[in-house]
Amino acid sequence: MYVYYNPPPVTAGWTIDDISNGFIAPNQYTTNDIICHTNATAGKGVITVAAGSKVDLQWTVWPTTHHGPVITYLAPNTADSATQDKTALSFVKIDAGGLVNPTPAPGTWATDVLIATNNTWTVTIPAKIKAGRYVLRHEIIALQTGGDLNGAQNYPFCINLNITGTGTVVPTGGVKGTALYKPTDAGIHYDIYNNPNKTYPMPGPAIPATLK
């Protein structure tokens, strides 16, 4: 987000139009803002990483009250990084952390792990994935008001990656960003303070077996 820079710096991270650090609500899941956040435009840069390596994703200070899952996806680029059409991206999940310990309520969540590690989440790029350009979509879903039908808060962002290596797996079964979630999904409309089963159903598609 570089709304006060003219021209903005060249980065691999996508630029968003949101100076309030706001979220995407469930009633926006069918809009393009859920893909990479509000009015997101493709970054002009790219970061090169090797398949099988770990990537640290640094957040600003995260509120301790905003409990929820941390989820990461990859989508093969369909164009040059700087001109990528976000609506053309199909995402596969590569990493997800949810409810770590259910007691005492609201429990310990992936967001608490992130806070304890200097507001950083570490993701391993699948070792089997085919080399090429990808868009990484990383997201926290805050559920402190998830008991309300429109109460979940999604905070997605995207980064351009150039993945190197000798892997041969081309991700299949990808899902458009606007089809990842529904407001009524069990892991979206979820009350962290009243969870009799003490489990959490991770929203979104499963991690493909071919990438494990």
**pLDDT for residue 78:** 81
DSSP letters, 122-139, are EEEPPTTBBSEEEEEEEE
What are the tens digits of pLDDT across the range 89-126?
Answer: 999 999 999 999 999 999 999 999 999 999 999 999 99
What are the tens digits of pLDDT across the range 64-75?
Answer: 999 999 999 999
Does residue 1 register a pLDDT over 70? no
Nearest CA-CA partner of 143 in 70, 212, 86? 70
Q: Are 203 and 110 in contact (CB under 8 A)?
A: no
**pLDDT for residue 10:** 85
28: Cα within 13 Å, side-chain hemisphere: 18
d(CA 66, CA 24) in angstroms, rounded, equals 14
**pLDDT for residue 3:** 57
Looking at CATH, the fold of the domain delimited by 26-211 is given as Coagulation Factor XIII; Chain A, domain 1 (2.70.50)
What are the tens digits of pLDDT across the range 3-60?
Answer: 566 666 788 999 888 666 799 999 999 999 999 999 999 999 999 999 999 999 999 9
**pLDDT for residue 19:** 66
In single-letter form, the type of residue at position 164 comes to T
What are the tens digits of pLDDT across the range 156-212?
Answer: 999 999 999 999 999 999 999 999 999 999 999 999 999 888 999 999 999 999 998
What are the tens digits of pLDDT across the range 123-162?
Answer: 999 999 999 999 999 999 999 999 999 999 999 999 999 9
- Say what the pTM is: 0.95
